[in-house]
Amino acid sequence: MLLNSEAYEACIGYFSDHLGLFEGQNGLAQGALIADIVSDQVAEMLLTFCQQQTQLSNEVRLIVIAEGDRLVDDIEQILGRLWDKPATVAQTEFIEEYFLLLKNSLDSQVPTLS
């Protein structure tokens, strides 16, 4: 589904292009771990998607939700040792914006999911 699409590959490329935001000191950490922020954003994105796409079968919804775990794994691999570090405000904002981009990519795939 999403993770096997060109749109997802473009999203991963976008994330990789912005890795500089996660390297070095780019501001004061706000306390929340990057891992927790990503996990919360994945959960929120999938919940919102399922609530908005009422026409999808339960089987399709479960497949989409299962991709959430793989999505977290992909981002964890990209960030490596930074995964368990506190996030700066800029990093948190980027992650939130990134998941809006992913949500839009997922929404664009709805016609192929039914």
Judge whether residue 114 has pLDDT over 80. Answer: no
The predicted-structure confidence for 31-71, as pLDDT tens digits, reads as follows 799 999 999 999 999 999 999 999 999 999 999 999 999 99
- Residue 26's nearest CA partner among 97, 98, 90, 95 is 90
Query: 101: domain range?
Result: 2-113
- Single-letter code of the amino acid located at 47: L
Number of domains in the chain: 1
Judge whether residue 98 has pLDDT over 80. Answer: yes
Give the per-residue pLDDT at 26.
60
Judge whether residue 25 has pLDDT over 80. Answer: no
pLDDT tier at 27, thresholds 50, 70, 90: low
Give the per-residue pLDDT at 112.
84
Q: Which two tokens stand for residue 39?
A: 């996990």
Do 15 and 94 touch, CB atoms closer than 8 A?
A: no
pLDDT tier at 110, thresholds 50, 70, 90: confident
- Single-letter code of the amino acid located at 93: E
